[in-house]
Amino acid sequence: MRKLDTLFIGLMLFSMFFGAGNLIFPPFLGAESGTSYWLAMTGFIVTGVGLPFAVLFAVSLVKGGVQTIGNRVHPLFSTAFMVVIYLSIGPFLAIPRNANVAYEMGVKPFLGKSVNSSLILFLFTVLFFALVYVISLNPSKMEKYMGRWITPVLLLAMVVLCVVGFVKLDAPLQSPSAKYESGAFSTGFLEGYNTMDALAALAFGIVILTAIQQRGVRDRKQLTNYTLKAGLIAGVLLSLVYISLGLIGGKMQANGSFENGTEILSTASTLLLGQSGKTLLGLIFTLACFTTVVGLTSACGQYFSNLIPKASYKTVVLAVTLVGFTLSNLGLNQILKVSVPFLVTAYPLTIVLITLTFFHRFFKNAKKVYGSAILFTAVFAVINGLNTFGLDLGPIETLRNLLPLSSVGLEWIVPALVGTIVGLVISRFSAKAPAEVVTVKAS
């Protein structure tokens, strides 16, 4: 495969990852973390870039991808987990979130107060999802559309905004907010969940591997090698964008308080470039959200058409598009209300599953190790998710708070380690049992 093909696949991967959350959260982190910015941003990049890269690497190492990795716990778990992940990062959460943000930033700022916003949202999503459907129908041409055309335009727009911001914004970083005064790294680590990129990487792995295989690459080592190169290109670009947006957010802190990253970028673009800045920002958000939705739609199409033989790729893409379109018209606030509880539940399971994959060759009885580790992790991940959703769990919540790292939202780490150790012990005793039986019979 040519080096240029690797570059364009890397750019396509960047464009698929780079969506609404990737634009919104870094500047807000920069504004809130202040002088603790670099430590907080390091934590953010670990989960926002490092973890998705690790997921892609793990998927490329295993024949059968994520489904095979999940089967190491149990086939039912594998299917259930992946269906939930695909539906969440697809039509029920990430897709409508990105479509809504594209509207909020690309269209709404230019509307008058007397305009029927609901009607314009409806018309915008009709056009948005029609284009998504057309491009998603041809996954073999996605690298051409997104890697060669859309992504360069997106990157150019980002460079213009960031360069002007660095030149014109010279305010020093302010004092950090309360949650970043101590534990800036862990707070940034948890904020990286909001990009949803580690979960998206579970889905995008199949898209990237397909794009590489279409260029004649079949050998597993070569597939892994090209996947790593494409992931490295995407990871470097994402890191540079996050750092740049975060610094703009930090420098904007001197201009007042902001409720979210969207407000920061809107104010910054208007302050730096006037009306042109608002237009530039609208272009950035629309392109970023569009490419992510295309990537997610295609990934869902490939997964569910393989899972359900009677459902063709075209049928699944149409269904995903229609559901995403319908939910997009419910409004952004309703969508975001569900996202955080889901993320704090799904991310620990994903992290543990991928981490175990890298140590798989050391496990003699892998299913017991995987099953025990996931079980212990899932209990506390679900508790944390329910708590984040606003449910009062009483004594269970008290128990959770007693665990190490609970104050920074990482209480699942110790149970995950305990579960892994328990699984290793059980697998070792299971391996010894047959030998002991044989010895007794022989005597």
Q: How confident is the model at residue 441 (pLDDT cuts 50, 70, 90)?
A: very low
Going from the N-terminus, what domains does the chain have, and what CATH number goes with each? 3-332 (1.20.1740.10), 359-443 (no CATH)
Contact 86, 203 (CB under 8 A): yes
C-alpha dist (Å) from residue 325 to 40, 97, 292, 315: 35, 10, 15, 15
From the list 366, 382, 378, the residue with the least C-alpha distance to 423 is: 366
The predicted structure's pLDDT at residue 144:
66
* DSSP class per residue in 320-377: HHHHHHHHHTT-HHHHHHHHHHHHHHHHHHHHHHHHHHHTGGG-SSHHHHHHHHHHHH
pLDDT tens digits for range 181-229 = 888 999 999 898 878 888 888 877 777 887 888 888 877 788 889 989 9
Residues 64-75 have a mean pLDDT of: 85
pLDDT tens digits for range 266-277 = 899 989 998 888
Q: Which two tokens stand for residue 258?
A: 């902001």
Residues 115-138 have a mean pLDDT of: 91
For helices 275-307 and 3-17, angle between their N-to-C axes, nearest 10 degrees:
100
Report how far residue 101's alpha carbon sits from residue 106's, in angstroms, rounded to the nearest whole number. 8
The predicted structure's pLDDT at residue 132:
93
